[in-house]
């Protein structure tokens, strides 16, 4: 069966499986309450704990205020409490996701003072900048496995938690297959059935007439309620707050888990289709940075679009061989298809003059990944050990074809856009758009060992480990199909981390950890286009202090990270040379300031520097890295109005350079968002009303000035956007 014909069948199979599995719970009735994944129910022989990763411990418990959790996943070390790990991790909860009416992972990460949202190079992929380094959306992990999530956009309805790990993580997670993740990594946790049944329907609308309808179903069943099923279905459609831009989303996900005393198994199936018609493009920077236009203005050509379709599945199991030793195994696959017709403009003058052209792209991805491991505990004298051993494998195949019209032949203006009839594809191109050829293959494998030693009655924790990883990349001609490039590198990535618990409220930590990323590929417009470079190694050093006062907590950290630089030189050749060094201080805050008043936010101060033999770049700041980022989110339960709360969020981002020589700059910007939530009952059914206004002042601003290493492109911030929804529990 061909790849093209297998995708509709796979889609139908996933939907059929989910609906068939959902029928038993749809037929039943039960008193509906909000599902709490952290709840446990003591049974005769088994403790049922909802767990996305099939672990005995389940999810880390929510911290006071419910917006973040007490800990998060630290790669193969598993879920750890924030006071016990020598790393900085924040895990955003489903309560926060729902209350802020987040639509995607990017919406959730708007709350993080160490993260800023950008966009992929030449497409509409969500991209996240952590500590000034990019993390592609296809480098997010799904329950600990890379490459399984939709590549361009991940809907928030899939998520129970969004976990942000700050810093390099080649040892903990393995190298990210997309070639990013030096500044941090993101893991998303799928939903599981809680102990209480849930039947929730959500309807909503936002500016432009964009509507949404969602269903969230959850049941536990069988002997001792050992099996659980969670089904989510979502449909969104309509125009957005950007003029003439339309988005569609169809999502179906199924999460199932089962457990006995010593065995735990979970599986996830998902299907997501995301379409954008006339999407507002990024703006390539030439010799000027124009003033940001009206935030609602759309300078896209009317025939442009970006469509993606993904089907994915995972299975994970864990078995207790004894009280001291546990084994686990996990595997997953994804098949994705992307189709784009783009016209990204190049700005040529301060008055807004720009040029563009048609660019068609077709892409398919086939991904398979898996890992096995053992973890256990032992004691030697007075020293306790928590050891881990694992092995992993990953393979991806990329099929791609593209074709363009005459380069930059369409003249338009940023402030007064000109709409053109769609030009013919008579320019440069490679491959067959109707049947994209294989252009790249990546194979990775690794083994890892780690030991956390505990001294002084668990007051001092020392983590040591190493991962040996092999990365092998192949590049193929889209015209002839012959192999054009091949790189292989085996690298051992060490880790050393220490935690000293000065008291029950304060932990001091330090770590040294390395990053490993797939070598970059030269962009299509360079003279060495599609040249594949060797994998790159980075180094990180970090010290910090964490505090937990029961109701309020946070982290203060200093870090320094260096990685190889890549850029296009004066001869229009893409090179990897020199290094980018980022150093900074981070402060994160969360919890209850007082009863009914919750705070979430922090501050990041960054210093970034390029070190290179090119005089015009040496010593200059890196593209798209602001010196200051600050967030302050406050939620308040209004006294005397039971069930009513209001919230606000202020996001500040400092100025950013838009080119490597630091002659072009976008100004700093501040955005204010407001929201409210009210709980009521209608016909004895709990209804949660939510209202939100993002960018209250309708600020016009350039949100980011880069993303892909060494490239300059601007993304216009979203206009004022109103969102209203109601969630009804039956």
Using CA atoms, how far apart are residues 689 and 98, in angstroms rounded to an integer? 11
pLDDT by residue (tens digit) across 355-381? 999 999 999 999 999 999 999 999 999
Tell me what the pLDDT averaged over the chain comes to.
Answer: 90
SS3 369: strand
CA dist list (Å): 462 to 84, 452, 714 = 10, 5, 44
CA dist list (Å): 218 to 59, 197, 204, 434 = 17, 5, 21, 41
Say what the pLDDT of residue 49 is: 53
Task: Judge whether 465 and 495 are in contact, CB under 8 Å.
Answer: yes
Using CA atoms, how far apart are residues 724 and 712, in angstroms rounded to an integer? 36
Side by side, the strands of the sheet bearing 126-130 are 115-119, 126-130, 133-136
Q: Which carries the bigger pLDDT value, residue 59 or residue 437?
A: 437
Say what the pLDDT of residue 448 is: 97
Question: Could you tell me which of 722, 703, 676, 695 has the C-alpha nearest to residue 208?
Answer: 722
> In this structure, how many other beta carbons lie within 10 angstroms of the beta carbon of residue 642?
10
Q: Say whether pLDDT at 429 is over 70.
A: yes
> In this structure, how many other beta carbons lie within 10 angstroms of the beta carbon of residue 527?
12
pLDDT by residue (tens digit) across 77-129? 988 999 999 999 999 999 999 999 999 999 999 999 999 999 988 889 999 99
Say what the pLDDT of residue 50 is: 56
CA dist list (Å): 601 to 215, 589, 621, 676 = 31, 5, 26, 18
Structure tokens at 483: 């192999």
Q: How many CA atoms lie within 13 A of 275 on its CB side?
A: 10
CA dist list (Å): 600 to 80, 113, 131, 267 = 21, 9, 18, 32
pLDDT by residue (tens digit) across 570-590? 788 888 888 889 999 999 999
Using CA atoms, how far apart are residues 263 and 316, in angstroms rounded to an integer? 11
Question: Could you tell me which of 716, 181, 176 has the C-alpha nearest to residue 444?
Answer: 176
pTM: 0.90
Using CA atoms, how far apart are residues 69 and 81, in angstroms rounded to an integer? 9
Q: How many CA atoms lie within 13 A of 489 on its CB side?
A: 16
Give the E-state strand segments of 240-358 in sequence order.
246-259, 263-277, 283-284, 305-320, 325-342, 346-347, 353-356
Say what the pLDDT of residue 438 is: 97
Average pLDDT over residues 279-295: 95
Say what the pLDDT of residue 181 is: 85
Dihedral sign (CA 43, 49, 55, 56): negative
Q: How many residues does the chain have?
A: 730
CA dist list (Å): 582 to 218, 350, 585 = 44, 31, 10
Using CA atoms, how far apart are residues 351 and 288, in angstroms rounded to an integer? 10
Say what the pLDDT of residue 25 is: 31
CA dist list (Å): 253 to 5, 14, 155, 210, 229 = 22, 9, 11, 22, 11
pLDDT by residue (tens digit) across 526-577? 888 777 787 888 899 999 999 999 999 999 999 999 988 877 777 888 888 8
Share of the chain above pLDDT 70, in %: 93
Task: Judge whether 86 and 461 are in contact, CB under 8 Å.
Answer: yes
Say what the pLDDT of residue 22 is: 38
b/e code 597-629 from CB counts within 10 Å (16+ = b) = ebbbbbbbbbebbbebebeebeebbbbbbbbeb
Task: Judge whether 63 and 591 are in contact, CB under 8 Å.
Answer: yes
Residue 508 CB contacts under 8 Å (≥ 6 apart), including other chains: 499, 500, 502, 543, 544, 545, 546
b/e code 344-359 from CB counts within 10 Å (16+ = b) = bbbbbeeebbbbbbbb
Structure tokens at 312: 């994915």
Using CA atoms, how far apart are residues 132 and 705, in angstroms rounded to an integer? 12
Instruction: Compute, in degrees rounded to 10, the torsion defined by CA atoms 150, 155, 157, 159.
Output: 60
Task: Judge whether 552 and 533 are in contact, CB under 8 Å.
Answer: no
Share of the chain above pLDDT 90, in %: 76
Using CA atoms, how far apart are residues 84 and 71, in angstroms rounded to an integer? 9
Average pLDDT over residues 217-229: 93
In the chain, domain spans: 3-729
Average pLDDT over residues 615-634: 94
Q: Under CATH, which number does the domain 3-729 receive? A: 2.40.170.20
> Which band of pLDDT confidence, cut at 50, 70 and 90, is reported for residue 178?
confident
């Amino acid at each position: 069966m061909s790849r093209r014909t297998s995708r509709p069948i796979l889609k139908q199979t996933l939907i059929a499986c989910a609906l068939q599995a959902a029928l038993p719970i749809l037929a039943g009735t039960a008193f509906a309450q909000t599902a709490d994944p952290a709840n446990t129910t003591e049974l005769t022989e088994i403790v049922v704990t909802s767990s996305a990763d099939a672990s005995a411990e389940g999810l880390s418990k929510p911290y006071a205020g419910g917006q973040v959790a007490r800990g998060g996943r630290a790669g193969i070390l598993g879920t750890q409490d924030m006071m016990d790990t020598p790393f900085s991790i924040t895990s955003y909860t489903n309560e926060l996701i729902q209350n802020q009416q987040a639509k995607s992972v990017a919406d959730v990460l708007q709350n993080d003072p160490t993260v800023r949202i950008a966009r992929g190079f030449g497409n509409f992929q969500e991209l996240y900048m952590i500590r000034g380094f990019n993390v592609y959306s296809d480098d997010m992990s799904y329950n600990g496995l890379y490459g399984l999530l939709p590549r361009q956009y991940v809907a928030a309805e899939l998520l129970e938690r969004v976990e942000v790990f700050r810093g390099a993580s080649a040892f903990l997670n393995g190298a990210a297959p997309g070639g990013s993740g030096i500044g941090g990594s993101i893991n998303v946790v799928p939903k599981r059935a809680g102990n209480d049944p849930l039947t929730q329907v959500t309807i909503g609308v936002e500016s432009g007439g964009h509507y949404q309808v969602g269903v969230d179903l959850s049941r536990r069943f069988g002997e001792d309620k050992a099996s659980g099923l969670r089904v989510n279905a979502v449909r969104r459609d309509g125009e957005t707050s950007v003029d003439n831009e339309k988005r569609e989303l169809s999502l179906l996900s199924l999460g199932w888990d089962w457990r006995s005393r010593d065995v735990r198994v979970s599986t996830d199936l998902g299907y997501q289709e995301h379409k954008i018609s006339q999407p507002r493009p990024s703006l390539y920077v030439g010799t000027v940075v124009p003033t940001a236009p009206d935030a609602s203005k759309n300078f896209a050509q009317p025939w442009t679009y970006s469509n993606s379709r993904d089907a994915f599945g995972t299975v994970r199991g864990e078995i207790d061989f004894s009280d001291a030793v546990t084994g686990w195994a996990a595997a997953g696959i994804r098949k994705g298809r992307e189709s784009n017709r783009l016209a990204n403009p190049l700005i040529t003058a301060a008055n807004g003059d720009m040029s563009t052209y048609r660019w068609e792209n077709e892409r398919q991805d086939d991904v398979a990944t898996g890992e096995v491991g053992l973890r256990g505990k032992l004691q030697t004298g007075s020293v306790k050990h928590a050891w881990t051993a694992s092995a992993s494998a990953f393979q991806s195949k990329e099929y791609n074809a593209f074709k363009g019209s005459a380069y930059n032949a369409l003249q338009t203006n940023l402030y007064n856009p000109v709409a053109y009839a769609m030009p013919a594809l008579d320019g440069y191109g490679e491959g067959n758009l109707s049947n994209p050829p294989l252009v790249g293959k990546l194979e990775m494998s690794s083994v890892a060992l780690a030991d956390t030693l505990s001294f002084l009655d668990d007051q001092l924790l020392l983590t040591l480990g190493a991962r040996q990883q092999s990365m092998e990349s192949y590049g193929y001609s889209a015209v002839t199909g012959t192999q054009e490039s091949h790189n292989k590198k085996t690298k051992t990535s060490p880790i050393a981390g220490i935690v000293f618990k000065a008291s029950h409220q304060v932990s001091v930590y330090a770590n040294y950890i390395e990053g490993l990323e797939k070598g970059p590929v030269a962009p299509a417009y360079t003279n060495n286009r599609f040249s594949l470079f060797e994998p790159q190694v980075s180094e990180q050093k970090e010290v910090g202090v964490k505090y937990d006062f029961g109701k309020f907590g946070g982290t203060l950290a200093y870090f320094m990270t260096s990685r190889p630089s890549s850029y296009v030189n004066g001869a229009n050749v893409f090179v990897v040379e020199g290094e980018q060094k980022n150093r900074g201080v981070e402060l994160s805050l969360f919890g209850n300031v007082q009863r009914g008043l919750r705070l979430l936010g922090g501050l990041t101060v960054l210093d970034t520097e390029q070190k290179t033999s090119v005089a015009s770049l040496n010593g200059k700041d890196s593209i798209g890295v602001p010196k200051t980022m600050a967030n302050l989110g406050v939620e308040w339960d209004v006294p005397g109005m039971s069930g009513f709360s209001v919230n606000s969020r202020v996001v500040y981002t400092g100025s950013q350079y838009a080119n490597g020589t630091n002659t072009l700059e976008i100004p700093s910007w501040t955005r204010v968002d407001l929201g409210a939530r009210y709980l009521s009952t209608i016909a004895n059914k709990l209804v949660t009303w939510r209202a939100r206004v993002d960018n209250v002042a309708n600020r016009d601003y350039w949100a980011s000035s880069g993303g892909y290493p060494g490239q300059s492109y601007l993304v216009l911030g979203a206009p004022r956007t109103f969102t209203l929804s109601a969630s009804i529990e039956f």
